[in-house]
Amino acid sequence: MRIGFAVPMSGSWATPRNQERIARRAEELGYHSVWTLQRLLNPAGEDPGPYRAVPDPLITLAYLAGRTSRIRLGVAVVNMPFYSPPLLAKAAATLDRVSGGRLDLGLGLGWMPEEFAATGAAMRRRGERAEEFLAVLRALWSEESVAFDGEFHRIPPVRMEPKPVQRPGPPVLLGGTAAPALRRAGRLADGWISSSRADLDTLADQIGIVRAAAEEAGRDPDALRFVCRGAVRVRPAGDADRRRLTGSLDEIADDIAWLAAQGVTELFVDLNFDPEITGAGADPAASMERAEQVLEALRPGR
């Protein structure tokens, strides 16, 4: 199982300097990938929880592309309804080019009504809209000229250049936990990404749904990627009621090994969902110290 690490993306520690520091150290230690996340807006007057002052994920990855040379660059996830297919196709193709073909593009459907209202996007029939979106995205990346006449997207004959480095395009990994979303990932995507709130004890069942849908669609399920967002929280050892990936570094390492046996092909350690790291009163220096300890302790091949 490949191991990645999320850069600081929420709260006071999510600065360009700290993002670069984590990404460069992860590359030095042999991590496979670094990851960002998206939160476009938060409802006014509500506690944003782990989504406090989140920067744009694609621009952040473009910045990190120029500060690294080998490590893959992933986003989990950007929500398709907030973009038009040509705008996201162009941004992703450009990011793939400036990174030398290192982009992994995680895509989702979104869920927060305020974000949909603010962007003018429709929440209804998001799944069907997403399927057309993916078709347009991949056509723009791979075909010399594109014309599309769908129910939700209509594009006159056009050309999009330059194309991405990865052909026919960057790997597309779909999020989502409902059965239709899991089946969509199996039918259409290069893989699936679990959420920060996933019940890790049921992950194997969800992977099974994705694999079965791929097989029913005539695709090779063994070719798919199954990426776990590892929402890690370092705490004292020995809590009998602890959740997986919460506890001591040794306990967390054991959980990571267990996840590999559940069919997970990649896991990225994500500290952005730990209130001790990203909460309103968190000390950014202490958050970075914790992150660097975790980076060392969970490094690949340790």
Predicted confidence (pLDDT) per residue in 39-80, tens digit:
999 999 999 999 999 999 999 999 999 999 999 999 999 999
Question: Cα(3)–Cα(266) distance, rounded to whole angstroms?
Answer: 6
This prediction has a pTM of 0.96
Residue-level pLDDT at 301? 87
Residue-level pLDDT at 302? 80
How many beta carbons lie within 10 A of that of residue 289, not counting itself? 11
- pLDDT tens digits along 226-285: 999 999 999 999 999 999 999 999 999 999 999 999 999 999 999 999 999 999 999 999
Amino acid sitting at position 287: S
- pLDDT tens digits along 73-109: 999 999 999 999 999 999 999 999 999 999 999 999 9
Burial string for 99-135 (b: 16+ CB within 10 Å, else e) reads: beebbbbbbbbbebeebbeeeebeeeebeebbebbbe
Name the pLDDT band for 4 (thresholds 50, 70, 90): very high
How far CA 124 is from CA of 21, 39, 89, 183, 269, in Å, comes to 41, 20, 23, 19, 33
Burial string for 40-66 (b: 16+ CB within 10 Å, else e) reads: bebeeeeebebbbebbebbebbbbbbe
Residue-level pLDDT at 177? 94
Question: Cα(295)–Cα(269) distance, rounded to whole angstroms?
Answer: 9
The whole-chain average pLDDT of the chain stands at 97
Question: Cα(28)–Cα(77) distance, rounded to whole angstroms?
Answer: 25
Angle, nearest 10°, between helix axes 126-142 and 85-98? 50
